[in-house]
Amino acid sequence: MAASAKIDPMSQFAIHPVGSGDLHGPFAFTNSSLWMLVVLAAILVFMIGGNRRQLVPGRWQAAVEGFTGFVEGITRTSIGAEGRRYLPWVFTAFTFILFSNVIGAMPFGIVPGAHPFTVTSQFSVTGVMSVTSFAIVLGVGFWKHGLRFFLLFWPKDAPLVLKPLIAIVELISFMVRPFSLGLRPFIAMFAGHILLDVFGNFIVQGLNAGGMVGYGVTGLAFVFIVFVNALELLVGAIQAYVFALLTALYINDAVHLH
């Protein structure tokens, strides 16, 4: 009985085929694919619905314009006048991570038969996005500067005897960037969803136990779930901002060799 009531907090991250598909097939349609389409649909509805170009913008249009203006401000502040060239990717990354995080935190699980899935809780997703950012940085750096791009790792004002050591440290730090960039949003969503699952299990176990202690545990766990869920929404927005900001800063290094 106890074994059947056990809840595995890691099961929510399992990728499985939708319907009668085969997970090991060449074109498997999984829950991750499904929720990526949900995120894409939400982004398209948001952008198309607010792209009406009215002389007096409504709330929806103002929200979209404020959204794009915010990301443009990140690229302009971090990269400078050339930042507009790289706005499409920075905006795409910011929007996808933000919508994925917010949709993944919504309580769709209360709908019978619904199995929500947060695509940013998979490092394969955030890792591909970080590798894409890293590839853009390398492409921009070698396209603008050629082999002079390696001067990015050579400190100008350091003592000559320390320059080789600092250059090695800078190179290692640079190579770690794509890993750390994708790890941040993945860890944030992964940890937050585990906490929600654990406290949800406390609620179920408290209700099953009954009595003053059981209901007390249930009430306390419910308060924690509300707090963690609000915190996860905040962290999801922050992680989208951090990803966009760091991407813009890394591109700035490649553009200006700082």
| pLDDT, tens digit, 9 for 90 and up, residues 160-185 | 788 889 889 988 999 998 899 999 99
Instruction: Identify the three-state secondary structure at position 116.
Output: coil
pLDDT score recorded for residue 2: 41
129: number of Cβ within 10 Å: 21
Please count the CA atoms within 13 angstroms of the CA of 199 that sit on its side-chain side. 16
d(C-alpha 142, C-alpha 121), whole Å: 33
Using 50, 70 and 90 to split pLDDT, how confident is the model at 92?
very high
Q: Across the strands, what pairs with 30?
A: 17
Enumerate residues 6+ apart whose C-beta is below 8 A from 120: 97, 100, 101, 104, 126, 185, 186, 189, 236, 239
For the chain, how many helices (H) and strands (E)? 7, 0
Instruction: Identify the three-state secondary structure at position 90.
Output: helix
DSSP state of 117: -
| Percent of all residues in the chain with a pLDDT value above 70, rounded to a whole number | 88
- Whether the CB-CB separation of 182 and 130 falls below 8 Å is answered with yes
| pLDDT, tens digit, 9 for 90 and up, residues 31-70 | 888 899 999 999 999 888 777 766 667 788 888 888 889 9
Using 50, 70 and 90 to split pLDDT, how confident is the model at 205?
confident
Average pLDDT, the chain: 85
Residue 110 confidence (pLDDT) above 80: no
- Whether the CB-CB separation of 86 and 69 falls below 8 Å is answered with no
Residue 247 confidence (pLDDT) above 80: yes
DSSP string, 186-254: HHHHHHHHHHHHHHHHHHHHHHHH-HHHHHHHHHHHHHHHHHHHHHHHHHHHHHHHHHHHHHHHHHHHH
200: number of Cβ within 10 Å: 17
225: number of Cβ within 10 Å: 19
111: number of Cβ within 10 Å: 9
Using 50, 70 and 90 to split pLDDT, how confident is the model at 133?
very high
Tokens 């009668």 correspond to what residue?
A: 20
Structure token digits, residue 67: 């959204």
pTM of the model: 0.86
pLDDT score recorded for residue 199: 82
User: What mean pLDDT do residues 93-114 have?
Assistant: 84
| Percent of all residues in the chain with a pLDDT value above 90, rounded to a whole number | 34
User: What mean pLDDT do residues 191-208 have?
Assistant: 83
Using 50, 70 and 90 to split pLDDT, how confident is the model at 143?
very high
Residue 85 confidence (pLDDT) above 60: yes
CA angle 32, 17, 196 (to 5 degrees): 50
pLDDT score recorded for residue 56: 67
Enumerate residues 6+ apart whose C-beta is below 8 A from 1: none
| pLDDT, tens digit, 9 for 90 and up, residues 217-245 | 888 888 888 888 888 899 999 999 999 99
